Structure 1
Amino acid sequence: MTERQIRVFGDPVLRSACDPVRVGDPRATALVDDLIETVTLPGRAGVAANQIGVSLRAFSYNIDGVIGYIINPTLVEVSGEAELVDEGCLSVPGFYFPRLRHPFARVTGVDLDGNPVELSGDGLMAQALQHETDHLDGHLFIEGLEPAAKKEAMRLIRMAPWY
């Protein structure tokens, strides 16, 4: 297992939809191990594979002390009135912006053995499920900001020392 460096805004791997993971591929185990190792650091709720430079559909999560992963996730349900929540992203370090998210979300996918996996939750889990599947579809959370907030976010990002 290796903690992997997080790719930041501007890296092309973050802007492309990820390919499905081939279940049974021995590299998938190494990817999941790296995702788990990388998400266990303090302050991390989720890490998508493309955030560590791998364009495959998988992410890890660390919500309320529960750590896990899902391969080939699909967001199958969101419910409740979308509400503004402060959201940040490891790929846009140091910033939080108000983003509309549904209070409940559910994803389905598989584990390393190809067994069905379903993750669902509200609050931070719902936010993480939506955020991480967006990553795997090649979208950063700033794309969903209200126009004025997005304009301000882009201004601040361009001034960031990591940009």
Structure 2
Amino acid sequence: MKPEEKEFLDQIDQHQNIVHKVCRMYTDNKDDHEDLFQEVLLQLWQAYPRFKGDSKLTTWMYRVALYTAISRRKKKQRIISEGIDSTAYEYYENQDPYRYENLRMAIETLSETDKALVILYLDEKPYKEIADIMGLTETNVGVRLNRIKKKLKEILVTR
């Protein structure tokens, strides 16, 4: 095994929870989760030689994972709009199912970009890192997250 392959595999092993979080948010079932996980790993592997360390490795991994998941989801939505049904996916498996099912359903109403912002926010990323991952300003992240929180609160109160 080449040294860069070993380094990549070590990094993935250490931070694979990032990829799994994104996959849980953007998939409907275990098979889709595994497929998306493999797709993200492939994208990370292909992009790894170009990673120069301008941002933290985890920031870069989130960016690649989110863009891959969003792109895949858009392709899937095109298929769904042509007549294939979609099912709800599991979210935060080890938590109170009723509470998080309502939150999951509320998050599902958001745009793909807003979902990505919520994932990062729920993962307690600082606004600066969210801004770096999403290609936004810190101010824009704050404004959008406040709007998202308000929207989610309104949705959850009406349920």
TM-score (ref. length: structure 2): 0.25
Whichever of the two has the greater Rg, that structure is 2
TM-score (norm 1): 0.24
Structure with the bigger percentage of helix:
2
